[in-house]
């Protein structure tokens, strides 16, 4: 068993080293003279990619390995993927989610074969890493991908029974966990955004840890992942075993905490000032978790880019400015208030940072 884990660790280190050797400086988004087109420049200001692209559709703020690119020629869009080496691949095969082209993650990006409506994955070099044989694929997270195969597309209908072409759901099919080489790892793996794919552990039996969920792999081993919501609740309950002091609360807070003001909207405060001002209501709300009569629940979310705009939060967003909630989610603790309260609920958002969960936003 020790040899098995040592081999996994060695392979992980080799993979990380290979990734580091293949990486290069990230290029930054830039604009032409009238800000109608975008390109990319080095951090020193050298133009690396000409400003030929539509800013609303070429959404990458940073060019790390591979991006979705859209040009306009003769009143029509030219779409493709562009690698750091200038290679053009996947013409007319952009993958869209919520009307937005996909964004690279870990050096991989999804594409769509429009002739089959199936989804695949390109690697950083623009080569097909996962063939387009899936109805749906998640982003790559720690080298892992959740895929859906063999499903049927069912379109929604309006009140008159007419099909709504742009709205549909998938029925049946099989969800699986694969790696970036399209190797099957787990069959019947239900898609779950609550799992921390960076916390994977492999063992001969299911994990006994209450915050982990285990799945049997095709190799007979069990793969377990931390559930973000369960982890956040565990962290808070452990914190509440001791008396809630101002010093302890400050340690639980992020560098600044944003709160809702009915007149001014969302306002940030340095954590020391926040605790000085809101210690008592925060203490009271946290301690509700220890009261049997209290009603509360946890829900997973991500940072709002329109609220958390400063450089302090940059690492918690991806290259396209979207919340990196698969690695740094926020868990929202929702507490019901007593009848007659001005606000029926209190929301306390905890961001998962590299130092653990930290209180980052509240609304009373």
Inform me whether the pLDDT recorded for 4 exceeds 60: no
**DSSP string of 114-167?**
TTTTEEEEE-TTS-EEEEEEESEEPPPBTTEEEEEES-EEEEEE-TTS-EEEEE
Phi, psi of 284 (to 5 degrees): -65, -45
Strand (E) or helix (H) holding 224? strand 222-227
Inform me whether the pLDDT recorded for 27 exceeds 90: yes
pLDDT of residue 16: 40
Closest CA to 148 of 126, 162, 169, 125: 169
Q: Using 50, 70 and 90 to split pLDDT, how confident is the model at 157? A: confident
Q: Is-contact 58 75, C-beta < 8 A?
A: no
Q: Is-contact 103 322, C-beta < 8 A?
A: yes
pLDDT of residue 342: 66
> pLDDT tens digit string along 158-187?
777 777 766 778 888 999 999 999 999 999
Q: Is residue 48 classed as helix, strand or coil in its secondary structure?
A: strand
Q: Using 50, 70 and 90 to split pLDDT, how confident is the model at 293? A: confident
Q: Give pairs for 6-15: CB < 8 Å, separation 24+.
A: 8/202, 15/143
User: Average pLDDT in the 41-62 region?
Assistant: 97
Q: How far apart are CA 206 and CA 225, in angstroms?
A: 10
Tokens of 122: 């390109």
Q: Evaluate if pTM is beyond 0.75.
A: yes
Tokens of 118: 């199936």
Q: How far apart are CA 175 and CA 172, in angstroms?
A: 9
> pLDDT tens digit string along 67-94?
999 999 999 999 999 999 999 999 999 9
Q: Give pairs for 303-312: CB < 8 Å, separation 24+.
A: 303/328, 303/330, 303/351, 303/360, 307/258, 307/266, 307/361, 308/258, 312/255, 312/256
Inform me whether the pLDDT recorded for 11 exceeds 50: no
User: Average pLDDT in the 142-154 region?
Assistant: 94
pLDDT of residue 103: 98
pLDDT of residue 158: 78
Q: What's the number of CA atoms in the CB half-sphere (13 Å) around residue 360?
A: 22
Whole-angstrom CA distances from 85 to 33, 48, 60, 63, 88 are 25, 10, 16, 11, 9
Q: How far apart are CA 350 and CA 286, in angstroms?
A: 12
Q: How far apart are CA 352 and CA 356, in angstroms?
A: 5
What one-character DSSP code corresponds to residue 312?
G
Q: How far apart are CA 323 and CA 305, in angstroms?
A: 7
Residues 6+ apart with CB under 8 A from 286: 236, 239, 240, 244, 348
> What region does 329 belong to: left with phi over 0, alpha with psi -120 to 50, or beta?
beta
């Amino acid at each position: 068993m020790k040899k098995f884990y040592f081999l996994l660790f060695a392979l992980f280190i080799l993979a990380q080293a290979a990734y580091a050797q293949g990486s290069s400086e990230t290029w930054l988004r830039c604009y032409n003279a009238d800000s109608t087109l975008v390109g990319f420049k080095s951090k020193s200001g050298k133009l690396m990619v000409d400003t030929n692209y539509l800013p609303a559709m070429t959404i990458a703020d940073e060019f790390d390995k591979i991006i979705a690119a859209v040009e306009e020629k003769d009143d029509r869009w030219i779409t493709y993927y562009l690698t750091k080496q200038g290679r053009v691949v996947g013409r007319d095969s952009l993958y869209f989610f919520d009307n937005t082209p996909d964004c690279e993650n870990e050096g991989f990006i999804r594409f769509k074969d429009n002739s089959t409506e199936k989804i695949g994955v390109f690697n950083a070099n623009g080569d097909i890493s996962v063939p387009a044989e899936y109805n749906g694929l998640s982003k790559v997270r720690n080298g892992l991908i959740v895929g859906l195969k063999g499903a049927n597309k069912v379109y929604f209908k309006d009140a008159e029974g007419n099909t709504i072409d742009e709205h549909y759901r998938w029925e049946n099919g099989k969800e699986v966990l694969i790696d970036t080489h399209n190797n099957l790892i787990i069959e019947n793996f239900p898609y779950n955004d609550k799992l921390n794919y960076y916390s994977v552990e492999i063992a001969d039996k299911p994990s006994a840890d209450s915050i982990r969920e285990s799945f049997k792999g095709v190799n007979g081993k069990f793969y377990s992942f931390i559930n973000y919501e369960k982890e956040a609740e565990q962290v808070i309950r452990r914190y509440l075993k001791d008396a809630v002091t101002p010093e302890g609360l400050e340690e639980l807070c992020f560098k600044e905490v944003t709160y809702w003001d009915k007149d001014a909207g969302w306002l940030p405060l340095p954590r020391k000032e926040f605790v000085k001002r809101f210690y008592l209501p925060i203490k009271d709300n946290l301690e509700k978790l220890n009261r049997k009569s209290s009603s509360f629940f946890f829900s997973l979310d991500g940072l709002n880019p329109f609220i958390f705009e400063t450089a302090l939060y940059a690492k918690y967003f991806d290259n396209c400015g979207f919340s990196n909630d698969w690695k740094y989610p926020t868990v929202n603790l929702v507490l019901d208030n007593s009848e007659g309260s001005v606000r029926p609920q209190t929301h306390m958002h905890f961001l998962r940072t590299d130092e653990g969960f930290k209180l980052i936003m509240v609304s009373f």
